[in-house]
Amino acid sequence: MEYSYRARTKENRLVSGKLQAAGQEQAVQQLRVQGLVPVALQESGKGSSRGLREKLSSISTVSLKDKSVLFRQLATMISAGVTLGSALTVLVEQTSNKRLSQAVAAVKRQVDSGTSLSAAMRTRKEFSILMISIVKAGEEGGVLDSSLDRLATFLEKQDALRSKIISAVSYPAVVMSFSLLVVYILVTFIVPRFARVFSTMNIELPKITTVTFDFAVWMREKWYVFILGFVFLITGIILLNRMKATKPAMDAFKLKMPVLGDVVYKTIMARTNRTLSALVESGVPILMALEMTSEVAGNYVIASEYSNLREAARRGQGLGETAAKSKVFPLMVSHMITVGEQTGKLEEMLGKVADWFEMELDEKIKRLTSVIEPLLIIFVGGIVALVASAIFLPIVGAIQAML
Nearest 10 degrees: CA dihedral of 102, 107, 111, 113? 70
What angle (nearest 5°) sits at the alpha carbon of residue 122, between those of residues 120 and 124? 90
pTM for the complete prediction?
Answer: 0.70
pLDDT for the residue numbered 402: 67
Q: What angle do CA 358, 363, 368 make, to 5 degrees?
A: 120
pLDDT on residue 290: 92
DSSP code for 135: H
Q: How confident is the model at residue 309 (pLDDT cuts 50, 70, 90)?
A: very high
What per-residue confidence (pLDDT) applies to 386? 82
Tell me which of 168-177, 295-304, 394-403 is least confident: 394-403
- Residue 57 clears pLDDT 60, i.e. is over it: no
Q: What are phi and psi of 347, to 5 degrees?
A: -65, -35
Q: Is the pLDDT of residue 254 over 70?
A: yes
For residue 24, what pLDDT is reported?
66
pLDDT at position 104 over 80 = yes
Q: What is the mean pLDDT of the chain?
A: 83
In whole angstroms, what is the distance from residue 307 CA to residue 7 CA?
34
- Residue 236's pLDDT is 93
The single-letter code of the amino acid at 138 is G
pLDDT in tens, 169-186: 787 788 778 877 877 787
Q: What is the pLDDT of residue 301?
A: 92
Give the dihedral sign, CA 132/130/154/348.
positive
Least confident of 2-16, 82-96, 245-259: 2-16
Q: Is the pLDDT of residue 326 over 80?
A: yes
pLDDT tier, 126 (very low <50, low <70, confident <90, very high otherwise): confident
Q: Which range among 59-73, 76-90, 196-210, 357-371 has the greatest average pLDDT?
A: 76-90
Q: How far apart are CA 161 and CA 342, in angstroms?
A: 30
Is 50's pLDDT higher than 50? Answer: no
Considering the four listed CATH numbers 3.40.190.170, 1.20.81.30, 3.40.50.300, 1.10.10.10, the one that applies to the domain covering 64-155 is 1.20.81.30
Of residues 159 and 24, the one with the higher pLDDT is 159
Average pLDDT over residues 4-20: 76
Q: How many residues does the chain have?
A: 403
What is residue 52's predicted lDDT score, i.e. its pLDDT? 46
Q: Is 318 helix (H, G, I), strand (E, B) or coil?
A: coil
In the predicted structure, residue 382 carries a pLDDT above the cut 90:
no
